[in-house]
Structure 1
Amino acid sequence: MNAQWLLALALSCPLAGGLVTWLARTQLNKRLGAINLTFTALSLICVALAWFGGGRQAITFQLPGFMALGLNFELNGLTVIFALLFLAAWTATSIYCFGYMENEGSPRRFYVFLQLTLLGCIGVVLASDLITLFLFFELMTLCSYVLVIHKEDADAMSAGNLYLFLGVFGGLALLTGIFLLYNATGTVSFTAIPPAVAENTGLVAAMGIAFLLGFGIKAGIFPLHIWLPKAHPVAPTPASALLSGIMIKTGAYGLFRVFYSVISPAGQNGAGAVFFGSTLLGLGLITMVLGAFLALQQRQAKKTLAYSSVSQIGYIVMGLGAAVLPFGHDLYGVSGMLFHILN
């Protein structure tokens, strides 16, 4: 099969899985876990076949005309790492769901939104422009909210409301950054901003702050991490694992694509790279230390894991900060960041 079609199929599987789960008869409730696992594994197999069977060459796929700009996707050496990591983790979590969901209510709703959240995560890492990334980023946020409030008790609703509020705020900040970028450059692709734009320090600072807020909330960077210790304990355990293991990494991925691919290259020798590199390095250090310290103070396992996840994101953001700083050793920072994401 054509590698392009395999990429399209990989994106279609979670959507089809959610639809099949929703339409399945009540008598098949005990098989919903198998349906979820099947479509998740199919998506993983399609990505692997598209990349390794296609000669490890970049593969693009487009849906032109969608919201005028269209939806644009690319599987390349960077995005395949995240796609395979996310899908492998999702497959393992789907296996765990078999036993766990036997004791939970509303399995149909859980599996539908688990598949749609997967679609959002995969769409984020495969997006080849910021508009496509934004749409799937918001899909991920809204669908994962349903996973957080699954139990529908007071604690879950409170945590879910905070998660949704910060998610919407982050989405607005991200959209603001995209508008500023498009207005200045006429493009939303992951290409370096022109030198003439990079010299406008006020505009670059506004864009950078907007993107930092938008992606930083999802990543759980200090002081934007407050939703994670609240959402993690109340969500079902499979959702908790994906919140801390996968979804916060979409925020780190967004920060990497924007600061390393768009803002930093054009300003390698400018104040923008120094400012944002130092900011990311400092925020990463604070997040790393604070997360570890707060994790040691917890008596509940899920809260300990939540703060531990915050701490680990600190390591990743520090690597990004080191890569953005214009000292000519960016590959060390990128390597450290990607290694810790995989680790």
Structure 2
Amino acid sequence: MQHSFSTTLIEHSGVSVNIWDEGGLTALHAAIHCSGPTACPHIIDVLLRHSADINALSKAVQHILHTVAQSGGTVEYLTRLAAELLQHGADANVGGAGANALDGNGASALHLAATHGVHAGAIISGLLRHGADPRTRCRDGRCVLHYLAKFTGPPDVAKQLRNLGLDPNAPDEHGQTPLLHATVAGLVKMVRLLCESGIGVNTPIFDDHKTAFFCAVRLRTVDAVQVLLQYGADLHHRGHSGRTVLHYHEAAYKAMSNGSADAARINKLLIACGANVNAKRGCCRQGHGMSVLDAGGITRAQGEFALFLMSNGALSFR
């Protein structure tokens, strides 16, 4: 009954199904946005039988696959809907129109699918099976791996993308890599996968030369610190103003009113792996600069850190 009513309404309205509404949506886009999983497939079927252009863009330059990828609903529903649209001719690989095209916000359908986090796998796999290009970059240079790392995506999908030739070292326009996003998010399995892929663990990711390892230490993400050390994180690398990773760890203590178990574990890890407790900040030829011990000793937590450093051979240079 609903199917017949929709057909009659379209046939007698005289309105093109491909024009934009006030919100900039075609009828197909609106069907996905506004109808539920029961009605939506029927409405789409009716629209397509009445010459709806399945590859038409919305006013915001969104392809129909972009709309599906960022819609709500269960992953099963979204996967089924994307598959039906692809079978009807939604083009996942046409420059300027398909899933590889960037929408008005500069993201492709694959990028939007990755924002579904742990549920992203089925949608991404469906798009890839129908020709979506995993190498597509969004407007600011991020690849799908950046999005998976940022939005807690499943490592098995990241592995699938890696096997398709996606570069795990790819930086965005700010120099940030998927490894940084995974480290900041505390996604240890993703960090390990990226390291196994041969990613540059010691590649600077900011203009101040910090690496993902510096961020893991600063954020006290113990498991990520362990994985990065296992894959060759450089304890002697210097970031901004010649600071070593121990200087950044001291700064983390400075922000704490008390010590923490995670910070203490990182202390032991860094020292056990050969961090120089007497390294001076800065690259001054005269040897001036502040040691890690000189920088600490203000808060109670820093006092604990200073005692730990001295017990491991740290000297004060003041």
* TM-score, normalised by the number of residues in structure 2: 0.25
More helix by share: 1
